[in-house]
A and B are shown apart, each in its own frame.
Chain A
Amino acid sequence: MLRTALASCLAVVLAWAAAAWLTHDFRVFTAEGARRIEVREHPVKAPAVQVAGPGVDDVALPLLLEEHGGATIVDFVYTRCVSVCAALGSGFQQLQGRIAAGEAAGAAAGNAARNAPREAPREAPREAPDYAPVRLLSVSFDPAHDDIAALARYAGELHADPDIWRFVTVRDAGALDSLLRAFRVVVIPDGFAGYEHNAALLVVDADARLVRAFDYDQLEEALHFARSLPRSAKTARATRQ
């Protein structure tokens, strides 16, 4: 009976170890949860795939993400989607509004400071004026349907401001696969000629590294986190000069 007890204990210990590995020490039980922990602990550099969209000529994705010197919130969509992408779309609309308002407030505060530099500010501005600029990028994973014209139409429907929110797709199927794999986006057919996909707000830092994934309803958290990320070094230097 002793050996049976030992064998049973061994089985339990092995299973415990396997479960701990599988669930990241019992913190998550789903692949999506694991993805978020892994991205947080090991940021993923955006692969150098060529993307194109309205107002975006063929450019490597990392260059597009590094261009403005701040963080980018990225989502993956397809324009025919009516379920989760619609939620993402309206979420991105809200984010666009918040980003525009934040930058207007920041600019106003900056102007006020320049106009009256010797006066001590009576109260701290409600929002910190020096936001790292945050941009939005929607990437279509359905290049067969979403050509540049379709993306432009979709952007128009969502009233996207091209200075803040851009749309691209990856024309090359192999490159698209490598991008989806790198960012751990899983797309499966939904049985109605559309797709199911693990929608999330992906925060990419100024160096084009995916650093955090948020639920698509965690708009505030995603924006706050994106704003808290440091600007890229070269842009910060350029601004100071």
Chain B
Amino acid sequence: MATHMLVQFPLLLLAGALLHASRSTSGDARFASADEPAWNRLGIAGLVFAACVLALGMIPRLLDLALVDARVEAAKIAALLAAGAALHASWRRAGLVVQGFFLGNVLPMTAVVGMLYQDAPARLCNGYRLDEQVLAGTLLVALAVALALGWLVAAGIRMHRAENIGVHGPGVALPSTCASAPRLAAFTAGGPHHEERSWPEDASTTTSRKP
């Protein structure tokens, strides 16, 4: 069960992201460009889609059906590949506020589902044992916490860099709607800022990007 949810799902998302990356060879430059498609401004539609797919993926019946019904398995794989592609297409466009909103929905959902899996007295999936369910639940909570911390650190670094540059430099791509970013930066200043100093490559990239 843990391999299904925490190895297969992420690998399918990664595969979807790589597929999308290989199709849009122009890479980062294209994401930072102004001509983003009208149906995915700030990556919102893509992230909403990815959040929906991830939510569906946490319904225990889906895990069971995917084991016994080839059609459901195929739909699951297609949806996760598409979600991976959508994440890749949307993540950089999203900016910190939209990213934070996305993670603020998906990660607590993941953690709550993980706690339910740990606490359920009976098996939720006919195809998996109770101990597998508890392990999957523990790892889901751990993943949610790790992703939240990782994103906060990354966001702190990004905002610190943006402040050093003074304006929203290329590659940083803070959208103009990101009005609360400075306040958020002050809020998260404690951890990330100290850690950030110990990373020499950050300084170098920052300087190299200075106009």
Contact = CB atoms under 8 A, between A and B. Distances in A.
Interface of A: 1, 3-8, 11-12, 14-15, 18-19, 22-23, 28-34, 186, 188, 190-191, 196, 198
A186 B44 contact: no
30 contacts: A1-B38, A4-B38, A4-B39, A4-B40, A4-B42, A4-B44, A4-B45, A7-B40, A7-B48, A8-B44, A8-B45, A8-B48, A14-B52, A15-B49, A18-B56, A19-B55, A22-B56, A22-B62, A23-B61, A29-B60, A30-B64, A30-B124, A31-B60, A31-B64, A31-B65, A32-B123, A33-B61, A186-B126, A186-B127, A188-B128
Contact of B126 (A1, A14, A198): A198
Nearest to A28: B61
B41 A15 contact: no
Contacts of B125: 30-31
Interface of B: 38-42, 44-45, 48-49, 52-53, 55-56, 59-62, 64-65, 68, 123-130
Contacts of A18: 56
- The SS class assigned to the B binding surface is helix
Secondary structure of the A contact surface, majority rule: helix
A139 B71 CA distance: 31
Contact of A29 (B41, B68, B124): B124
Nearest to B50: A11
Contact of A190 (B42, B62, B65, B129): B129
Contacts of A6: 39
Contacts of A31: 60-61, 64-65, 125-127
A81 to B, nearest CB: 14
Nearest to A185: B126
